[in-house]
Amino acid sequence: MKIAILGTRGVPANYGGFETCAEEISVELARRGHEVLVYGRKGNYNDQENYYKGVRIYHIPRLKGKVTETFSNTLLSMFHVLAQKVDIIYVMNTANSPICIIPWLLGKRVVINVDGLEWRRKKWGWFGRNYYQFAERLSTIFSDRVISDSMGIRDYYLERYKTDSTFIAYGAQIEQSTRPEILQEYGLEPGSYFFVASRLEPENNADLTVKAFEKVKTDKQLVIAGGANYKSSFIKNLEKTTDKRIRFLGPVYKEGHIKELHCHCYAYVHGNEVGGTNPALLKALGYGNTVLALDVPFNAEVIKDAGIMYQRSSEDLAEKMQFLVDNPYVRSTFSTKAINRILEDYTWTKITDEYEQFFKDVMAGAFKKGVNEKELIRTS
């Protein structure tokens, strides 16, 4: 098959979940003999490189800006890909669904990964929230099939838009520390800190984590890695804490640094409540972290019994953190469970297998013909 992937910043991945997914599945599909094109944003990587591990990469311009960047880059990428005679156009991000009308009108095979419920993010004003809800509806019209990254998102599209979708999660690698000396750059010791690695946006609840940690009796630190790609009063308010045990590292992009910060933390705190299967949560499990996760359906679906769920209150999170501080022996149990959880359902090999079969089904016109998905799986 010849498959084009649009709507990400490009590969190699150095930013978020879409990029990691694009890299992992494109490289593996190319290794299996498929021809894969990945479109990214000019200026994000070395624009002189045309191939990455067997994947053809294109660096396409974009209009910089929180609102314009994704849409403009995907639109220009779409015009380019239509001249490439690909079998399947795979578009990531609900925001790009209006663009899918172009290949849809031309009779091209196009699928879209809708990710989480972007309109619930508090950074968006009235226009942004309504645009994303409008784009959700269009994604069910201008595509051969919607991909949902969690069963919770699949249920949402069934209930709200009466549209079934194909559930394919993100994946993670099982990784261990290889450069422990990196911790010295941050003045940290192994096991001496709780860790958060996330975009610092309100719906990821870093403020709740800060308030909770302020209540915990420990000499450990709370280390927060992340920022926002826009000016944020939320971050300014976070940094007003007077607790000297809390440290803000800002965005951490140096190769291998996030991995080492994960691998040596005492526990990882995951406060995201909006998305579907969250790549940051999967990474934490893949590193063998003891995970404290906000109790929302998307997180519970991933965690099962491999971590500790907390309610949306600083008191409850503080109680769970204090429990881990007072009972360090439980960490080894959760570390083993975390790794087994990834091996059970979220290896990139398994995820790529699912994508490969899905693309074959799209090629066969199964979804256009209205074949029942359960029957399709049974007969594949």
What is residue 172's DSSP assignment?
A: B
- Geometric angle at alpha carbon 218, from 212 and 221, rounded to 5°: 75
Tell me the percentage of the chain whose pLDDT exceeds 90: 70
pLDDT score of 286 more than 80: yes
Tell me what pLDDT residue 333 has.
Answer: 95
Task: Say if residues 73 and 41 touch (Cβ distance below 8 Å).
Answer: yes
Q: DSSP per residue over 65-106, as a string?
A: STTTHHHHHHHHHHHHHTTS--SEEEEESGGGGGGGHHHHHT
For residue range 140-157, list pLDDT tens digits in order: 999 999 999 989 889 989
For residue range 10-52, list pLDDT tens digits in order: 888 776 678 889 999 999 999 999 999 999 998 777 778 899 9
Tell me what pLDDT residue 16 has.
Answer: 67
Q: Give the C-alpha separation, 34 to 378, whole Å.
A: 24
- Structure-block tokens of residue 285: 């499990």
**Alpha helix segments (H runs only) across the chain:** 17-31, 69-81, 101-105, 126-139, 151-161, 206-213, 233-238, 257-263, 279-286, 297-303, 314-326, 330-345, 348-363, 373-379
pLDDT score of 128 more than 60: yes
Query: Does domain 2-171+347-379 bear CATH number 3.40.50.2000?
Result: yes
Tell me the percentage of the chain whose pLDDT exceeds 70: 93
| Domain boundaries defined on the chain | 2-171+347-379, 180-345
pLDDT score of 162 more than 60: yes
Task: Say if residues 186 and 261 touch (Cβ distance below 8 Å).
Answer: yes
pTM of the model: 0.87
- The whole-angstrom distance between residue 25's C-alpha and the CA centroid of its chain comes to 14
11: nearest Cα among 1, 349, 29: 29
For residue range 214-245, list pLDDT tens digits in order: 999 999 999 999 987 667 788 999 999 999 99
Cβ contacts of 121 within 8 Å, gap of 6 or more: 201, 202, 203, 274
Q: Give the C-alpha separation, 49 to 45, whole Å.
A: 8
Mean pLDDT over 84-100 rounds to: 94
Q: Do domains 2-171+347-379 and 180-345 have the same CATH topology?
A: yes
Q: Which residues does residue 248 pair with via DSSP β-bridges, in sequence order?
A: 224
Match 């630190």 to its residue by tokens.
Answer: 221
**In which band, very low, low, confident or very high, does the pLDDT at 368 lie, cut at 50, 70 and 90?**
low
> To which CATH superfamily is domain 180-345 assigned?
Glycogen Phosphorylase B; (3.40.50.2000)
pLDDT score of 117 more than 60: yes
Q: What is the mean pLDDT of the chain?
A: 90
In the chain, the largest separation of any two C-alpha atoms, in whole Å, equals 63
Task: Say if residues 46 and 373 touch (Cβ distance below 8 Å).
Answer: no
